[in-house]
Amino acid sequence: MSEPDGAAVGRAAREGAGDALRDLARALADTASLIGSVPEQLRVAPLPGGRPVPAPVQDTVDRLTGRLGLPGLEVVSSPNILWAHELALSRRLALGPDAPAEAGDSLAEAVRDAMSGPPGEPVVLTARDGTPLRAYAAGRPGCPTVVAVPPSGMPVGLVTPWLRALSGSYRVLTWESRALFAARGKADLPPLLGHDLTTQGQDLLDVLDGFGVAEAHALALCGGAAIALAAASVSPRVTSLSLWHGDFELGGEAPKTQHQRDVQAMLAMVGRGREQATAMHRLMRRPTTLDTLRPDVAHHLVHPYASPELLYRYGLLNGSIMTTDCRPLLASVDRPTLVVTSRQDATAHPEGSVRAAQVLPHGTLRLLPHGDHLTAFDAGPHLVRIAEEFIRDPYQRVGT
């Protein structure tokens, strides 16, 4: 016997509310780095255009942030009063008329679901110089290890698609840049004890030590390519590398995009001192900052600009990556290395990857016909297949 129409409608409503609650919990977990990095309380609003949300939504948001160990958020009615980071956060949370207004018994289940998959809870490891590193592990211990090397300053969420895609077959490790992430909530940032590329490369090796891993493939993206090269140049524990849409400083041997030139100039300025970083931070609060950023990842990309202190440190850390000549590192890494890029990358010039593959003693270039810079972070099936083919047998040419 089928259930009465009223019962079916009620069940569907409860299931819909449960789905909305899980989506909100996942979105809050995904934005945890940003929420914890802005010194002031953040506001969020429904988008677009100030749609009203049910009054109990504030209570639900409060209960979820409390369970997730996050600072509280203020739910406001209009996005017009928000600054850039608040808008990025609001876009990811996607509050609206269907926002969950009652948590009920499903709140704990929603939080468990949000934290069940990669990246999971951070593990705080200690770098060689004493700096705490917020690190993550996915997959089963004992499997071959891949360490995902993110660009400097980016939260773990940007590389989480790779953790999800590879963790079925590999033990996948990653970490967030030194001195740019507090261990929990809005706790004080650890001191910046070193920022040169050599030190950042050592962090990769310290992450392997922290998880008790002897060796690993390094899958590095954007500026993470230079970090992986720095680690591999001093240690055979990086047994092979794949460098995806790398940002390489190669002197005059490869052109740079306008984006690379602009960012390098900005990093040089904010890295000169906290006064300059504070002035730039005021500019970065403008909502127009988000105009060219993909809404699904903007909350990750703006993390280094969350406070003047973060921006100053980012200027030093990423500035070191973008100005250190990679040619000696490339020439010294004698491990098999796959270099992947696309002609459609307007962020890191593809000719940098082409030249890098030529300098590497055992480099293989894969020039993709499609895909911009951020596509590499999406870990789509075709990219995952390329990566897994190479990781399984790095001495064979990767297939098409």
DSSP structure string for 266-331: HHHHHTT-HHHHHHHHHHHTSGGGGTTS-TTTHHHHTGGGSSHHHHHHHHHHHHHHHHSB-HHHHH
Q: Is residue 356 part of a domain?
A: yes
Q: What average pLDDT score do residues 340-361 get?
A: 98
**Res 260 pLDDT > 60:** yes
Interval 120-176: pLDDT, tens:
889 999 999 999 999 999 999 999 999 999 999 999 999 999 999 999 999 999 999
- Residue position matching structure tokens 């590999």: 170
pLDDT band at 8 (very low <50, low <70, confident <90, very high): very low
* Euclidean distance between the first and the last CA atom of the chain, given in angstroms as a whole number: 54
Q: What are the tokens at 165? A: 């895609």
Burial of 295 (0-12, 13-18, 19+ CB in 10 A): middle
The span from the CA of 354 to the CA of 334, in Å, is: 17
Do 276 and 372 belong to one domain? yes
Percent of the chain with pLDDT over 70: 91
Domain count, the chain: 2
Do 53 and 200 belong to one domain? no
pLDDT band at 187 (very low <50, low <70, confident <90, very high): low
Q: How many CB atoms lie within 10 A of CB 26?
A: 18
Q: Is residue 400 part of a domain?
A: no
pLDDT of the residue at 400: 44
Percent of the chain with pLDDT over 90: 83
Last-in-domain residue among 82, 116, 150:
116
pLDDT band at 55 (very low <50, low <70, confident <90, very high): confident
pLDDT of the residue at 395: 86
* Cβ atoms of 326 and 248 closer than 8 Å: yes
Q: Is residue 398 part of a domain?
A: no
Q: Is residue 399 part of a domain?
A: no
Do 239 and 383 belong to one domain? yes
* Backbone torsions φ then ψ of 134, nearest 5 degrees: -85, 110
- Higher per-residue pLDDT: 14 or 213: 213
What SS3 class is residue 133? strand
**Res 98 pLDDT > 80:** no
Q: How many CB atoms lie within 10 A of CB 328?
A: 12
Lowest average pLDDT, out of 96-110, 328-342, 360-374, 385-399, goes to 96-110
**Res 13 pLDDT > 80:** no
Q: Is residue 93 part of a domain?
A: yes
The span from the CA of 114 to the CA of 134, in Å, is: 19
The span from the CA of 8 to the CA of 358, in Å, is: 64
* Cis before 336? omega within 30: no
141: left (phi over 0), alpha (psi -120 to 50) or beta: beta
Beta-bridge partner residues of 73: 42
pLDDT of the residue at 20: 87
* Cβ atoms of 339 and 357 closer than 8 Å: yes
188: containing domain? 123-392
Do 166 and 290 belong to one domain? yes
Last-in-domain residue among 116, 137, 161:
116
**Res 338 pLDDT > 50:** yes
Whichever domain contains 242, its CATH number is 3.40.50.1820
Do 138 and 99 belong to one domain? no
pLDDT of the residue at 7: 47
Do 104 and 135 belong to one domain? no
Do 250 and 317 belong to one domain? yes
DSSP calls for 93-121: H--STTS----TTHHHHHHHHHHHSTT-S
The span from the CA of 217 to the CA of 180, in Å, is: 25
Do 213 and 341 belong to one domain? yes
Do 45 and 177 belong to one domain? no
Q: Is residue 205 part of a domain?
A: yes
- Higher per-residue pLDDT: 376 or 51: 376
- Residue position matching structure tokens 């922290």: 210
Do 286 and 363 belong to one domain? yes
The span from the CA of 250 to the CA of 252, in Å, is: 6
pLDDT of the residue at 104: 61
Last-in-domain residue among 94, 116, 138:
116
Do 248 and 279 belong to one domain? yes
Tell me the average pLDDT of the chain.
91
What SS3 class is residue 234? coil
- Higher per-residue pLDDT: 365 or 398: 365
**Res 359 pLDDT > 70:** yes
Do 98 and 142 belong to one domain? no
Lowest average pLDDT, out of 42-51, 107-116, 256-265, 285-294, goes to 42-51
